[in-house]
Structure 1
């Protein structure tokens, strides 16, 4: 308990990520954390069985939904739901499968992000601020996702009351409404449970990705703080040290600042390399599912429960996409502030060394290069492009109808 409390106080980001990766482990996605945990051979065998069964269950149920396209006895509402799930749930699977297949990259990323140059300079206050922001994002995503699931279930109950269709939130190849029996009811329960399980896995993957973007942005914020403090530190030393000693101290501190900046740049680049595919999946998911939701609003018979269910689904898509674009936009913004703080770090107080001036010019020029997160390698994740994605979805729908 004392060790956990100490970790929470001295390294809040690591404490938060340890909890998040523990949840990922329990959800069958493997141990993606960079610190090895001693586990017995029996534990490893049982976990392997659990992970195989759980992931097989998620994937087989997803296949069961996709193959529902071959059914010919579906109502109009079921057809629209089926098309939506055909696009949505494979995307959900891809999100958490990326973490499984990129496990080594994820480990390398967080090992350097959490340890890296922390011994050189860190800020507990900024760490706590970043964790609070990550928790707020995660809670908002969890609440609106849970809200969406509940209203989807209510819509299924209303459909059962009005049309006699067994309560369902997913349209599958088997069982159909005509099948009955104890075994069939068990399968129906597993199908309904699948909806909650796959969303939970997707939600955890989204929270990890958004949190990583937030922590990457705060890497640059720490660099900005370092150079701001370097100016104050240099100014306070004036008059207490000789000009030569002051210059040597400044040059040493400035090199450490450059090292911090390079570390932040590496983290931002490796985040894109390790989990950047999640951004592309999210953009594709948002565009396609928004179009499907708009189609459902046009073609389905509308009632209050149905409208609320669809609108909460749309709000959920908005929230998830906004979380990605907002967190990625913060990375770009915080990276852009480094050049200004670097220019005002106090080099003019010790000017005179040609090597120092050259080093400062090169460092400032490098810090002025924009840092962007991208989807599909071309779409910049920024505040303005979030609106562009929403507009693209509506434009595609307008062309279709």
Structure 2
């Protein structure tokens, strides 16, 4: 995509740096600028990533193939095969969904960082947004990588203390009891592919997380804007000039709000499948993990793998649902900010025009802004607790 001219700010610099990181690990470029690398290098790197992506797809197909070829598994391995085989496919679909909506995602990012900031940008809100995004992103990366790391620890523990083979992810070949050198090398390759799979999924989730946090803080930015335009009436100009200036500012605020609503709709369209898939995986994996823990041998490696995966799913879902829930909360605070914009200081005919504009602005802002999964599950703090309870309820019913 060709670069667009824009005024840089902390928001654009952050998205540019995040996009560089995502390009390194996935070859995808979601920001409007290029990554600053030579075209020859970029094209060669993209070809290499296509090979890696094909290998990841074959890895997931091999996991499904294990249901037909691996017949000598322990109960724990059968549970791992079921959990990993289907969750990997569903979670990887997040990357495919974002790739399909790449142009829209780029437009959302550019609108949030540039289009909505050129007329008003509260620096305190922007600083808070950047700080929260960095904390959430680092937490997500740590949680995701820990789960893969401890499955490797679990496999290594089996080799060192139980004289078993190094098995992390169950694939169609080699057999879990095959002790040949070729089988051992292939298992290490499978473990490396599981890391590559996790990196691709994590980069997709970082984009979703950054977009939803940025969107919730844009509603905060709008609140600050509407509150700030009341200062027009403190300026040393005539009453008529104050009213004209206030009217222009109010109309601009209404346009900014309409653009923010558009961003919310596009986030729902582009990220809805990601949220839905993650919730399905969250419930299924947590039920499987609770079942494994109940029946496990309580060895250190096994317990660590179960606990890290459980915590990763629990907290990663919490990060997504809380960031999406913040959009609803901040959008719900907007009507109050609009009402505090100073409209009551207008007089005579100006007051009549302003009241009509206020009616439009208040009506628009009072419509609930809710990001949903499956079209009906509201992403919020309350629904997150309900999903966790539902996972335990399913486990209690089945086991």
Contact 2:94 2:201 in 1 (8 A): yes
Aligned to 2:93: 94
The one of 319, 335, 338 aligned to 1:339: 335
CA contact (8 A) 1:11 1:127 kept: no
Cα-Cα RMSD: 2.0
C-alpha contact 2:328 2:368 (8 A) present in aligned 1: yes
Cα contact 2:147–2:308 (8 A) shared by 1: yes
Partners of 1:257 and 1:99 lie apart in 2 by: 30
| Deviates further, 172-181 or 246-255 | 172-181
- Is 1:256 matched with 2:255? no
SS in 2 for 1:115: helix
Which residue pairs with 1:312 in the alignment? 308
Cα drift, residue 162 of structure 1: 4.5
1:287 is the counterpart of 2:286: no
Q: Name the CA distance, whole Å, in 2 between partners of 1:369 and 1:194.
A: 46
Question: Does the 8 A contact of 1:59 with 1:93 survive in 2?
Answer: no
SS of 1:221's equivalent in the other structure is: helix
TM-score by length of 2: 0.92
Determine if contact 1:29/1:51 at 8 Å carries over to the other structure.
yes
> Which is further off, 166-175 or 42-51?
42-51
SS of equivalent residue, structure 2 residue 390: helix
8 Å CA contact 2:325–2:381 kept in 1: the answer is: yes
Q: Partner of 2:243: helix, strand, or coil?
A: helix
Question: For residues 267 and 250 of structure 1, what CA distance do their matches in structure 2 show?
Answer: 26
- 3-state SS, counterpart of residue 353 of structure 2: helix
What's the CA shift string for 1:81-116, capped at 9, x where partnerless?
111111221123112222222212212222222221
Conserved 8 A contact 1:102-1:275: no
Runs (5+) with no aligned partner, structure 2: 1-6
Query: Which residue in the other structure is 2:149 paired with?
Result: 150
CA contact (8 A) 1:155 1:305 kept: yes
> 1:369 offset after TM fit, Å?
1.0
Pair 1:229-2:228 in alignment? yes
Match of 1:275 in 2: 271
Shift of 1:276: 2.0
SS of the residue 1:276 aligns to = helix
Which residue matches 1:3?
Answer: none
Question: Is 1:54 equivalent to 2:91 in the alignment?
Answer: no
Question: Could you tell me how far 1:188 is from its partner in structure 2?
Answer: 1.7
Relative to structure 2, which stretch is displaced further, 174-183 or 365-374?
174-183
The 1:323–1:38 alpha-carbon spacing in structure 2 relative to 1, beyond 3 Å, is closer
Which segment is superposed worse, 298-307 or 377-386?
A: 298-307
- CA gap of 1:153–1:39, structure 2 versus 1, over 3 A, is closer
Q: Report how far residue 184 of structure 1 moved.
A: 3.2
Aligned residues: 391
Instruction: Provide structure 1 residue ranges, at least 5 long, that are not aligned to the other structure.
Output: 1-6
Secondary structure of the corresponding residue to residue 53 of structure 1 = helix
In 1, the alpha carbon distance for the partners of 2:40 and 2:116 equals 37
- 1:52-131 equivalences under 5 Å are 52-70=50-68, 71-131=70-130
Report Cα offsets for 1:200-253 as digits up to 9, x if no partner. 22222222211110100111111100111112x13312xx33222221111011
1:34 and 2:32 are equivalent in the alignment: yes
**Which shifted more, 279-288 or 301-310?**
301-310
Call closer, same or farther: CA 1:306–1:205 in 2, change over 3 Å.
same
Q: Distance in 1 between matches of 2:330 and 2:217?
A: 7
Task: Quote the Cα distance in structure 2 between the aligned partners of 1:36 and 1:29.
Answer: 12
Q: Is the 8 A contact 2:159 2:165 kept in 1?
A: yes
Compared CA separation, residues 351 and 396, structure 1 to 2 (3 A): farther
Aligned-pair distance for 1:140? 1.2
Match of 2:366 in 1: 368
Mapping for residues 134-213 of structure 1, pairs under 5 Å: 134-213=133-212
When the two structures are superposed, what TM-score results if normalisation uses the length of structure 1? 0.92
Runs of 4+ with >6 A deviation = none
Distance 1:39 1:154 in 2: 37
